[in-house]
């Protein structure tokens, strides 16, 4: 199964559901549809409406983050995994570099993953090195630490997806070479297999994926799907990615 996940970030109002309707119509007509799943992570404000609307349809809805506590607390503005699940969302991103930049620590991420899984959300755990780490050849070490500090064998691997998103690539148009990406994906899967009894969760790539760059990425068979930011806000651009992947 491949995954195409669209991360809307700070984008979207109720009527933006039109974008999802177009993607859903494409999906329903696509002869390749059994091979992949579409997940969209709109902002919290739209989670309930979109989750209800797409409940019986094929697009899955997820949140972009969740708080590191289980249910209710006195933390102003925080939204827990329990609250996300109760409005009908199925997935949550955890550890996106935007949130790591704002102070998410490994311990916080560990709690987020644990409570999200406890509340039956599927977790898309994001990892990735920054430009300086890459230039110092630290990528593989950084990724290993990010994974092993947060994931452990007690977690339900069937509800975890890992998204490799090099920070220097997000929103910049810069992408790793296929050779680099293949090596990194294999490295990530090896670490995950070490944690989860020789079975790796799906590993996705994210960073400047569009209708054009996907033509390169699709050559790398180890990659189980894509986390798409900018190009997910347009139905045409998002559909182009899927279309070019299977062409």
Which residue number places its CB atom closest to ligand PEP? 229
Here's the x/- map for ligand PEP, 153-172, by CB under 6 A: it reads as: ------------x----xx-
Q: Is 187 a catalytic residue?
A: no
Do residues 226 and 5 lie in contact, with contact meaning Cβ atoms separated by under 8 Å? yes
**Identity of the residue, 63 or 196, whose beta carbon is nearer to ligand PEP in the bound complex:** 63
> Is residue 207 involved in binding ligand PEP (CB under 6 A)?
yes
How near is the Cβ of 176 to ligand PEP at its closest, in Å?
A: 12
> Is residue 59 involved in binding ligand PEP (CB under 6 A)?
no
How near is the Cβ of 182 to ligand PEP at its closest, in Å?
A: 19
Distances in Å between the Cα of 151 and the Cα atoms of 9, 34, 197, 209 are: 24, 29, 13, 26
> Is residue 7 involved in binding ligand PEP (CB under 6 A)?
yes
Sequence-distant (≥ 6) Cβ neighbours of residue 103 within 8 angstroms = none
- Binding-site size for ligand PEP (CB under 6 A) equals 12
Which one of 10-18, 152-160, 195-203, 227-235 is the stretch in contact with ligand PEP (CB under 6 A)? 227-235
Here's the x/- map for ligand PEP, 116-155, by CB under 6 A: it reads as: ----------------------------------------
**Identity of the residue, 167 or 195, whose beta carbon is nearer to ligand PEP in the bound complex:** 167
Q: Is 96 a catalytic residue?
A: yes
Contact positions vs ligand PEP (CB under 6 A)? 7, 165, 170-171, 206-209, 227-230
List, by residue number, the catalytic residues. Answer: 96, 165
């Amino acid at each position: 199964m491949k995954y195409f996940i669209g991360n809307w970030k700070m984008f979207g109002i109720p009527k933006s559901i039109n974008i999802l309707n177009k993607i859903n119509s494409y999906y329903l007509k696509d002869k390749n549809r059994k091979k992949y799943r579409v997940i969209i992570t709109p902002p919290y404000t739209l989670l309930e409406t979109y989750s209800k609307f797409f409940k019986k349809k094929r697009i899955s809805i997820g949140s972009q983050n969740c708080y590191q506590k289980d249910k209710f607390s006195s933390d102003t503005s925080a939204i827990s995994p329990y609250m996300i699940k109760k409005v009908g969302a199925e997935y949550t991103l955890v550890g996106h570099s935007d949130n790591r930049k704002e102070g998410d620590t490994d311990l916080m991420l560990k709690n987020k993953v644990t409570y999200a899984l406890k509340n039956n959300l599927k977790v898309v755990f994001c990892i990735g090195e920054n430009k300086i780490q890459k230039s110092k050849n630290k990528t593989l070490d950084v990724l290993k630490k990010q994974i092993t500090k947060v994931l452990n064998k007690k977690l339900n691997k069937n509800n975890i997806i890992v998204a490799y998103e090099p920070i220097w690539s997000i929103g910049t148009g810069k992408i790793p070479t296929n050779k680099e990406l293949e090596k990194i994906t294999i490295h990530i899967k090896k670490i995950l297999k070490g944690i989860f009894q020789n079975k790796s969760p799906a590993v996705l790539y994210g960073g400047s994926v569009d209708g054009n760059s996907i033509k390169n990425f699709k050559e790398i068979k180890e990659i189980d799907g894509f986390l798409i930011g900018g190009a997910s806000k347009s139905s045409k651009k998002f559909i182009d990615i899927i279309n070019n992947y299977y062409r």
